[in-house]
Structure 1
């Protein structure tokens, strides 16, 4: 997510400077690779790189090819085979043994739905969306349609290729809708006059982190969350603490009493909250309001006895706390990494939130009897359209 934000910002800057740009996207990986499909890198005509498509070994060659793409104004599909001895040197720094297909597209701003515009549209809406990238493995020197379709809950945006081509794209749209429903990427082949492969990618909004408490220990938590590209808001009832000067990295800083805080906040299924005001009554009031909401995570800083006491008080006051509501409450907040001090505690808390959002336990990769990245891609299928 942060990478895509950075790419969009770099594109806007290049536009202001009148520079041409190209977008490189990992669209297919066979075997192992440092980056998975969906990794992107923006290249400007003066050689500025934003994002990454590998561990650093492919970027130089991709830069040279991107300059050709910008000159010819034609997309190019590039394949790097790190299983081949002739190409093996490319994979030395990657530590991988696979075939990596990268699509490099010129950003033609005359097309109102060019790839960066589709990414901007998605970022602006803050919705889960599906982005479909079309390419031809069969004819690498032929047409490479590129970033072709953006599907959200509220609509579909097509690029110039799909708008102009006589392509009945019902199957493509239906597959995109299925990806949106299942939250699974998929790769699919379509045969229509020629065979095209589609990387159908699910894009999730950045996590939204609500930090209730503006004490000194909230400062590193806010800063680290910002480094991750999370949408971060700090809320506290003390005007002297909740200031932009103390939290320059926060997206928003609000001074609010507990009963007025939620009126000023947008909450969705990608929202996490951490209660760390060091004010028992403030945390209790916020926990009462947060429990019924569809948050992904509610963390309570401090000992488990504090959380148990708050839950008991809520029950005694007549609140009904359902098991599914308790499942999203984590207290003490954070993973058990032996954290000491506010910076390490912030690392512990953010690691747990990331694991929860990913549906994982946060265990050591050493103990995982499977590839590092769990499969999130549906099986490859083909269809005539």
Structure 2
């Protein structure tokens, strides 16, 4: 069986949380099979954690590759949907024919496919509700674990036209976006429909009362000292993933002088990305937002910001232990812990849990737990 037309969904999320992105659709289906990339070797279009699901009528959402092996994975998911028996399959480059099933980029990947279950639905619901959870499932004698975490936050200060564009592209990248400004006439939900929340408050006061973590990004767009200096002073005192500020080079130099007067140390000032954005040559709010988003992505993944055509290094960064890249592990530090589940007080599924995947118990989400941490016999 081949898919018809793939379902389309607005936006996408950062690469560590595809299952959360699929959760609302999966929970609306009465049955489904979901395929997850559990290992990647060499160059591959999608990293560990990428997921694709097949619904009761053959509809498909998500992706596990750039299209190279989607049809075969779809067929495998249909088999699992019919049989209920989990499956594990490997796909790699084929030298026999360009039309053979394989990854033309030269890499290989393993895909685990599982059928829906009450415990999987419970985990998906918890993830959809913003609760950090870990899941565990088994396929062909191997056990895999994966952590599903809340989306990282993007705090945008300054209710200007640029903020609307930044909020839209930030949401597209999978951030939970908040726009904050002290002026109620400008900070309205109608002006920022893409933002998850719009807050009327002084930026520094809101940030001081808001929980952040090492995955949080702050973008200051006001370029007005009475707003900028207090909020940047607060932001640069925190271990955030990204702190950027809009403005000219002259504004940047004046801003640095004022921040020094406020006692911000040089090592903190070195973290300030100002003028924010990569040099793309654009001028409009939308083009500026793309520039800012490009820098966000480059910082998040350790990219150079240079054209790929000018580089000879691998396109995709090498993943470290169990398919988790170092920047991702750093982003996960400080994220909320998984909530305890009945019978899992020691963090290990108890014998009363006959189905997988399982919500793991108390303690923090395993920071190197990705699908791809295979245990047991091969």
TM-score normalised according to structure 2 size = 0.73
Shift of 1:357: 2.1
8 Å Cα contact 1:22-1:70 kept in structure 2: yes
Q: 2:240 maps to what in 1?
A: 295
Q: 1:39 maps to what in 2?
A: 50
Structure 1 residues 324 and 43: CA distance shift in structure 2, 3 A: farther
Q: Are 1:312 and 2:321 counterparts?
A: no
SS in 2 for 1:360: coil
Q: 1:224 maps to what in 2?
A: 169
SS in 1 for 2:33: strand
TM-score normalised according to structure 1 size = 0.72
CA RMSD of aligned residues (A): 2.9
Alignment of 1:81-96 (within 5 A): 81-85=92-96, 88-91=99-102, 95-96=104-105
Shift of 1:266: 2.3
Q: Please, which of 344, 361, 375 is the counterpart of residue 287 of structure 2?
A: 344
Q: 1:167 maps to what in 2?
A: none
Q: 2:75 maps to what in 1?
A: 64
CA distance in 2, matches of 1:304, 1:123: 42
SS in 1 for 2:231: helix
Q: Are 1:324 and 2:267 counterparts?
A: yes
Q: Are 1:282 and 2:227 counterparts?
A: yes
Q: How many residues align?
A: 313
Please identify, of 78-87 and 267-276, the stretch whose mean Cα deviation from structure 2 is larger: 78-87
8 Å Cα contact 1:83-1:98 kept in structure 2: no
Shift of 1:118: 3.8
8 Å Cα contact 1:81-1:88 kept in structure 2: no
Long gaps (5+) in structure 1: 137-142, 144-195
Q: Are 1:108 and 2:117 counterparts?
A: yes
Which one has more relative contact order, counting CA pairs under 8 Å at least 6 apart? 2
Structure 1 residues 87 and 369: CA distance shift in structure 2, 3 A: closer
8 Å Cα contact 1:34-1:95 kept in structure 2: no
Structure 1 residues 236 and 360: CA distance shift in structure 2, 3 A: same
Shift of 1:292: 1.0
Q: Which has the larger radius of gyration?
A: 1
Q: Deviations over 1:17-66 (max 9, x none)?
A: xx211110112234433222221112112122221011224223322222
Q: 1:171 maps to what in 2?
A: none
Q: Please, which of 187, 202, 206 is the counterpart of residue 257 of structure 1?
A: 202
CA distance in 2, matches of 1:120, 1:373: 32
More strand by share: 1
Shift of 1:205: 4.9
Shift of 1:294: 1.6
Q: 1:166 maps to what in 2?
A: none
CA distance in 2, matches of 1:383, 1:11: 27
CA distance in 1, matches of 2:128, 2:205: 28
8 Å Cα contact 2:46-2:65 kept in structure 1: yes
Long gaps (5+) in structure 2: 1-12, 324-372
CA distance in 2, matches of 1:27, 1:60: 18
Alignment of 1:149-164 (within 5 A): none
Structure 1 residues 243 and 134: CA distance shift in structure 2, 3 A: same
Structure 1 residues 382 and 314: CA distance shift in structure 2, 3 A: closer
SS in 2 for 1:90: coil
Structure 1 residues 384 and 210: CA distance shift in structure 2, 3 A: closer
CA distance in 2, matches of 1:314, 1:72: 63
Q: 2:317 maps to what in 1?
A: 374
Q: 1:190 maps to what in 2?
A: none
Shift of 1:199: 5.8
Q: 1:8 maps to what in 2?
A: 23
SS in 1 for 2:289: helix
